[in-house]
Amino acid sequence: MPTSTPNNPLDAADGHIGDHIPGRGERGHSGRTVFIFSSLAHFYIHLCIAFYFVIVLSLERSWDLPYHELVSLWTLGSLMVGVCALPAGMIADRFGAPRMMMLFFLGLGGCAIGAGLSTGESSLFWWLTGIGVFAAIYHPVGIPWLVRNIPGKRGKALALNGIFGSFGGAAAGLATGFLIDVINWRAAFIVPGVIVVLTGVAMIMVSRLGGTLEREVSSHSHSTAEHPALGIFALLMFSMFISGLLFNGTQTALPKYFELRGQSLIGDSVFGIGVLVACVYTLAGFMQILGGHLADRYPLKTVYMSAIALQIPFLWLAAQFDGWMLMVTCTLMVVANTGALPAENMILARFAPSNRHGLAFGAKFVLSFGAAPVAVLLVSYIQDRTGDLSLLFRLYSGIAIVAVAVVMLLPSLPRMSALASRST
């Protein structure tokens, strides 16, 4: 009996691991090219929205200004990462993801270069805001762009892409600390900015030379009538806001927290702090493979809820430890947070038509990254009032409990291989 060919790649049967980056035919060429540019973009965004948290440690000394005042310069930029996500996704639905991704590379890199040339707080504030505006493009555009162009085991494909994002967070510590110690804080902005712009130029050249950068977009989606879609989106949006709050708060706080509590490990070196942050996000990045593997083989709700629940004890313990135990605890905490992402994105994509992915993912990241300025202000306020950040992690452990309770209300979703068998 012949099998039907699903229009939405989310309904396709699971393929082999080699299907993550297909390499044959027009679709294969599209998949390989899209995977490369989407993964590089994921690396760059996490580098560029996190490198300021290391750069600010050098600016404290160079500009002789307090930490809480300097870190707050990123507040509007972090807000833009969320606020601009929805319009970015809607524009991509209308004009195509490839064009928006080219704009992402050129705009993000250009603003990073501008930040490195800043002469004072005012100019730095506006360049950081620009970084936030262009960074907003990636998640509502780049992730569904990847989903549409990669058949097969999407959980693992998203996990591989997620590793690049985690490596970007790691590079925000390691590469930024190295550039600051070897050159200065300006190089930590300018060098990545130039690389990002050059990647955008390369993407434009590939497009003009006839490279396939997008598959045909269909309006089909998996049976959303099985569950009340608006109720599911409301629950998902709430849980994703909390996940974003935990991720952004941790990413903001770790460099300063390691400076305060990791003296026995790294001394006073900014590069040493960067190494610790890099280790945390590198290990977390590799563990996303496990998260993607689980999302492909087990019910998505179970995988998603378990990953959030695992963060609760580690967030609480992070407030108690210092030295090596702090390092281990923070690593496990970030591993659990990033491990939830493949399942989270697959749940959302299951209930959104392919030609409205930009809108759906844009709505998600309005809230997810909209949590970033809240996280930045919390870190700034708590550090200013207490001189420490342990209270932040205690607060976050309680918030994670709320997130688990919300996810429990989601409907049970079968694993993707079960759906594939239904489509035959």
The pLDDT of residue 353 = 63
Cβ atoms of 109 and 197 within 8 Å: the answer is yes
* CATH class, 22-215+225-422 region: mainly alpha
∠ CA 327-174-73 to the nearest 5 degrees? 95
The pLDDT of residue 373 = 78
The pLDDT of residue 189 = 95
Q: Which of 292, 17, 284, 324 is nearest to 152 (CA)?
A: 17
Mean pLDDT for back-to-back runs of 10 residues, the chain (424 residues): 38 36 44 86 92 89 86 87 86 87 96 93 94 92 82 72 83 86 92 96 88 55 50 81 87 85 71 81 78 82 91 92 87 87 79 68 76 82 87 92 90 54 38
The pLDDT of residue 413 = 63
141, HSE (Cβ side, Cα atoms, 13 Å) = 34
Q: Where are the domains of the chain?
A: 22-215+225-422
The pLDDT of residue 114 = 95
Q: Is 3 exposed, middle or buried (0-12, 13-18, 19+ CB in 10 A)?
A: exposed
Amino acid of residue 7: N
